[in-house]
Structure 1
Amino acid sequence: MPYKPQSEPGKTAYQPDVQITQLGEKIGDPVASADFPCHILRFRNDRWDQSVGLDSLDQQGWIDHFGRFEPLPDNLDRPLALRYHGHQFRNYNPDIGDGRGFLFAQLRDHEQRLMDLATKGSGTTPWSRTGDGRLTLKGAVREILATEMLEALGVNTSKTFSVVETGEKLQRGDEPSPTRSAVMTRLSHGHIRIGTFQRIAYEQNEGLMRDLVRYCLEQYYGGVQTDEPATELFAKVAQEVAKLAGSYMTAGFVHGVLNTDNINITGESFDYGPWRFTPYWEPGFTAAYFDHDGLYCFARQPEALHWNLAQFASALRLIAESDPLVATLEAFPKAYGTAFTEHFCWRLGVRSEGFEEDRKLVVAAETGLAEKTVQIDQFFFDWGKTESLALPKDDSTEFSEFRALIASRSRSREPVSKYWDNPVPCSMHIEEVELIWSAIADDENWNPLQQKVQDIRAMGAALRNG
């Protein structure tokens, strides 16, 4: 079936709905926000604030809730720093959890999905270890750019909801220090990670494991449908993670830190640290300077996500039989292949013709892209705006098979948006990220960031609607 991106945010009333507390006190620890020296609103998501009924907040009210973290009405009285474990670069770590963030509120969106408002950089928690619990302003700006770009490219991602500069000077080893500080709030469809299940398995808490499985099915997957809820949940999560893997590849995106504590059980991408978009179809392209072995490089991301699912299955073995979990793991490569080809066709703007035919088209495109004569974004842009798919783009040989295959395809959208009139595609490579940050750091010029967000959203509208 053809890939369908998430619908545009709609408008709704504020609908608080705290569900996390039904899991008891062992799911997280009540904490308080840091007391910041100042609060300067730098980013407010004026698309997604309406989707959870918070668009009517004035600037002072926004800062009160997303800078000082005064509770939202009828919501969590105190934020919760959630507990979890995780494999970090495949080394198990039982000493982690929400170390510089917390779950601030839960509420329903315009589609009645349960949504979490959670923070990054809001101060220390019991899980901070030696960290200061803070976030650099540059890190917040990078997360704005990552989430906006991924959303436009049809990737299931958290939304950067708010960024407030906080006036502290932070010391960091990977940035010129001291550097500016911020607190960020993200809007996510859930805040439960594979690592959450790993912690519960580590503690051998069967009761909490059953409760968490049921919670996830009821809150994120429409309810319990079988008499084996753990295997049911695993199958649903695996399907969504396969879609995530496929969309990462089509977007040319490299997350950088695909540890089990960074994998949401809704299949929603989140927590952007050393991310990058690879300009060319380069399998070994890495995002994290500390990923010396390329564990999470561009081409290995599907493998990494598959491996993480195996750790999820291992945790669920506390209450589930092995055979159905193994069967789901064995089906993952096919699920990923289907998701990848469907998403690839969506970004190209052509109709899916079934896995086998789509696979031929995608393999031909990959073969041409691997020659690195054209960047990924340029490739999709050129073919996306072509009036007739039967027209050859050029006489080069690397895409000859692709041109022959795509000529018979029908369009899934017509390139009517003004976006297609641009001379070059909207991209998000590291050089531009650094230029956007330099304008802020050197000249206090926020215009390049604001303009880039507008450009990204225009591209997203064009990919959804033509």
Structure 2
Amino acid sequence: MKTPPIYELGSDFYDEVDAAVFPALKLRYRNNQAAKVIGLEQLSDVEWFEHFAQFKTLPNNIQKPLALRYHGHQFRHYNPDLGDGRGFLFAQAYGDNKLYDLGTKGSGQTPYSRRGDGRLTLKGAFREILATELLESLGVNTSKTFSVFETGESLDRHDEPSPTRAGVLVRMSHSHIRFGTFQRLAFYNQTENIKKLMAYCIRHYYPEIANHEESEQAALFLQKVARNIAKTVAEWIVGGFVHGVLNTDNMNITGESFDYGPYRFLPTYDPTFTAAYFDNSGLYAFGRQPPAVYWNLHQLGGSLKVAFPEPPYEELLEDFGDEFNIQMRAKLLSRLNLRNPLLDEAAAGELNEELVMHFFQFMDEAKPLYEQTFFDLHSGAKAERLARSVQAQAYTHPSFAKLKETLDCFEIANEENEQHPYFTRTKCCSLLIDELESIWAPIAEKDDWSLFEDKLKEIRSFRGVY
């Protein structure tokens, strides 16, 4: 590329920073699948080390790391003291007709570190690798963990045994622009910069609305962002995923899921299940993720209104609930490898609604394992598969009878996926907290990464099925 697109925004949007110099670097994870998307899979080990541990500039790319400026609501309290505090935008690259950003986590202090050390624990990096890998295999629109190096440092943290090892992570995402990027500009009443930022987002992420008038662009932009996020939240719900910290600075304008701190996967269906130990009110509990995201979208709309006062932003978001429900039905069918055979639109819609209702009624009443249930019911309720399931007893619960009757009304969507070797197993691939801890234990105790490597192979073994 001639000039990295981020430079179009100018110095009002970021600060040039220096990467930390680490005492002892060791590669722990290299994502060649993601690297291939942007043409970097051929980098030698030395080149990978230079670019993603020492942060030597990629050819014809960002010349010095950029800590992006943003604000945000944290648990609904506005915080003007945010920004990239332990990371920066390192590079941009094109692949699959998309612009991708390579950002860091744990790469040192910036003007926004807020007295923090700018570092990331190795366990935090390990958790993010597994989150992004499994979410990708479950068909969730997620950022990709690109690279992780252990840095040879020891950190003190109150939320894990200390001193603990440190790592530096590179994340590949479709956009580094957050809701909070717009919020900061609105906070300072920088109307021209809001217009500049929206133009940048439309040019690189939503070019299909570029030919509209500015005010109409703002309306369409918000609706596009809302639709993408509705789809992602539906993917979280069907995937049994709890993000944990859905602050406005943790939401980006492409609707991509990213920044995995205290995430969890559900053991069994529980709308009140909370991932973050500090979320005392359950604001971001599993079942409250859709309304949390909806609230955040209103904050984005309020920021746009500073520069574009004409659109009725609240009205523009009224369809979010309907869009989320549409995406939920579609994602549920996709995960179950089923399709609705009814040609009548109204009848098909009613059958889809019945499936959602009876599925979650079963999940709520029988309390089967969440991911195992999707695994067992892939391609329909087959007696042989249910009988050999690790939770076969769950399917004798009275609430399953109605679900089975509904499932039998659908057809198999993809016969090749039905025959995938993954479904010859009796147990699904999941990532509950106890397993995470058991995989981490040998790493912490004796630097044994074999369980981690085995888990990666398992997660990737069914990629593309969902």
Could you tell me which residue of structure 2 aligns to residue 383 of structure 1?
Answer: 377
* Deviation (angstroms), 1:128: 0.4
* Deviation (angstroms), 1:392: 8.2
* Deviation (angstroms), 1:329: 1.3
C-alpha separation between the residues in 1 aligned to 2:322 and 2:384?
30
Checking the alignment, whether the CA contact within 8 Å between 1:16 and 1:107 is kept in structure 2 is no
C-alpha separation between the residues in 2 aligned to 1:270 and 1:388?
36
Could you tell me which residue of structure 2 aligns to residue 257 of structure 1?
Answer: 245
1:53 correspondence with 2:56:
no
1:278 correspondence with 2:278:
no
Identify, as 1 or 2, the structure richer in helix: 2
Q: Supply the AA of the counterpart residue of 2:135.
A: L
Could you tell me which residue of structure 1 aligns to residue 447 of structure 2?
Answer: 444
Task: Report matched runs for 1:40-189 at 5 Å.
Answer: 40-109=26-95, 111-189=96-174
C-alpha separation between the residues in 1 aligned to 2:262 and 2:447?
23
Could you tell me which residue of structure 1 aligns to residue 229 of structure 2?
Answer: 241
State the secondary structure of the residue aligned to 1:34.
Answer: coil
Q: Supply the AA of the counterpart residue of 2:461.
A: A
Q: Supply the AA of the counterpart residue of 1:30.
A: E
Q: Supply the AA of the counterpart residue of 2:168.
A: V
Could you tell me which residue of structure 2 aligns to residue 430 of structure 1?
Answer: 433
Checking the alignment, whether the CA contact within 8 Å between 1:257 and 1:296 is kept in structure 2 is yes
Could you tell me which residue of structure 2 aligns to residue 24 of structure 1?
Answer: 10
Which stretch shows the higher mean deviation, 450-459 or 173-182?
Answer: 450-459
C-alpha separation between the residues in 2 aligned to 1:407 and 1:17?
55
Gaps of 5+ in 1: 1-14
Checking the alignment, whether the CA contact within 8 Å between 1:391 and 1:407 is kept in structure 2 is no
Could you tell me which residue of structure 1 aligns to residue 217 of structure 2?
Answer: 229
* Deviation (angstroms), 1:219: 0.3
* Deviation (angstroms), 1:413: 1.9
Residue 257 of structure 2, aligned match among 263, 269, 273? 269
* Deviation (angstroms), 1:371: 1.7
Which stretch shows the higher mean deviation, 278-287 or 315-324?
Answer: 315-324
Checking the alignment, whether the CA contact within 8 Å between 1:30 and 1:80 is kept in structure 2 is yes
* Deviation (angstroms), 1:387: 7.9
C-alpha separation between the residues in 2 aligned to 1:191 and 1:419?
34
Could you tell me which residue of structure 1 aligns to residue 400 of structure 2?
Answer: 399
Could you tell me which residue of structure 2 aligns to residue 191 of structure 1?
Answer: 176
Q: Supply the AA of the counterpart residue of 1:396.
A: H
Could you tell me which residue of structure 2 aligns to residue 408 of structure 1?
Answer: 409
State the secondary structure of the residue aligned to 1:186.
Answer: strand
Checking the alignment, whether the CA contact within 8 Å between 2:67 and 2:87 is kept in structure 1 is yes
1:214 correspondence with 2:199:
yes
Could you tell me which residue of structure 2 aligns to residue 326 of structure 1?
Answer: 314
Q: Give the superposed CA RMSD.
A: 1.7
- Would the alpha carbon gap of residues 152 and 243 (structure 1) be closer, same or farther in structure 2, given more than 3 Å must change? same
Checking the alignment, whether the CA contact within 8 Å between 1:238 and 1:328 is kept in structure 2 is no
Checking the alignment, whether the CA contact within 8 Å between 1:29 and 1:82 is kept in structure 2 is yes
C-alpha separation between the residues in 1 aligned to 2:383 and 2:255?
33
Checking the alignment, whether the CA contact within 8 Å between 1:390 and 1:406 is kept in structure 2 is no
- Would the alpha carbon gap of residues 209 and 323 (structure 1) be closer, same or farther in structure 2, given more than 3 Å must change? closer
* Deviation (angstroms), 1:385: 5.6
Q: Supply the AA of the counterpart residue of 2:152.
A: G
C-alpha separation between the residues in 2 aligned to 1:167 and 1:133?
15
Which stretch shows the higher mean deviation, 175-184 or 321-330?
Answer: 321-330
Q: Supply the AA of the counterpart residue of 1:374.
A: P
Which stretch shows the higher mean deviation, 395-404 or 230-239?
Answer: 395-404
Q: Supply the AA of the counterpart residue of 1:52.
A: I
Could you tell me which residue of structure 1 aligns to residue 359 of structure 2?
Answer: 365
Could you tell me which residue of structure 2 aligns to residue 293 of structure 1?
Answer: 281
C-alpha separation between the residues in 2 aligned to 1:173 and 1:203?
34
* Deviation (angstroms), 1:320: 2.2
Which stretch shows the higher mean deviation, 290-299 or 388-397?
Answer: 388-397
C-alpha separation between the residues in 2 aligned to 1:373 and 1:96?
40
C-alpha separation between the residues in 2 aligned to 1:301 and 1:330?
17
State the secondary structure of the residue aligned to 1:384.
Answer: coil
* Deviation (angstroms), 1:233: 0.7
Checking the alignment, whether the CA contact within 8 Å between 1:121 and 1:133 is kept in structure 2 is yes
Runs of 4+ in 1 over 6 A off after TM superposition: 389-393
C-alpha separation between the residues in 2 aligned to 1:355 and 1:51?
37
* Deviation (angstroms), 1:326: 1.6
Q: Supply the AA of the counterpart residue of 2:221.
A: L
C-alpha separation between the residues in 1 aligned to 2:114 and 2:381?
57
* Deviation (angstroms), 1:373: 3.3
Checking the alignment, whether the CA contact within 8 Å between 1:389 and 1:406 is kept in structure 2 is no
Checking the alignment, whether the CA contact within 8 Å between 1:17 and 1:107 is kept in structure 2 is no
C-alpha separation between the residues in 2 aligned to 1:439 and 1:385?
37
* Deviation (angstroms), 1:435: 0.8
Checking the alignment, whether the CA contact within 8 Å between 2:338 and 2:380 is kept in structure 1 is no
Could you tell me which residue of structure 2 aligns to residue 6 of structure 1?
Answer: none
Q: Supply the AA of the counterpart residue of 2:448.
A: N
Checking the alignment, whether the CA contact within 8 Å between 1:17 and 1:106 is kept in structure 2 is no
Could you tell me which residue of structure 2 aligns to residue 341 of structure 1?
Answer: 329
* Deviation (angstroms), 1:396: 2.8
* Deviation (angstroms), 1:66: 0.2
- Would the alpha carbon gap of residues 453 and 17 (structure 1) be closer, same or farther in structure 2, given more than 3 Å must change? farther
Checking the alignment, whether the CA contact within 8 Å between 1:17 and 1:108 is kept in structure 2 is no
Q: Deviations over 1:317-351 (max 9, x none)?
A: 11223653122211111011111111111111111
- With the length of structure 1 as denominator, give the TM-score of the two structures: 0.93
Q: Deviations over 1:123-150 (max 9, x none)?
A: 0000001100000000000000100111
- Would the alpha carbon gap of residues 240 and 389 (structure 1) be closer, same or farther in structure 2, given more than 3 Å must change? farther
The percentage of counterpart residues that share the same residue type is 46
Could you tell me which residue of structure 2 aligns to residue 7 of structure 1?
Answer: none
C-alpha separation between the residues in 1 aligned to 2:385 and 2:38?
45
- With the length of structure 2 as denominator, give the TM-score of the two structures: 0.93
State the secondary structure of the residue aligned to 1:321.
Answer: coil
Task: Report matched runs for 1:1-20 at 5 Å.
Answer: 18-20=4-6
C-alpha separation between the residues in 1 aligned to 2:311 and 2:205?
24
- Would the alpha carbon gap of residues 233 and 382 (structure 1) be closer, same or farther in structure 2, given more than 3 Å must change? same
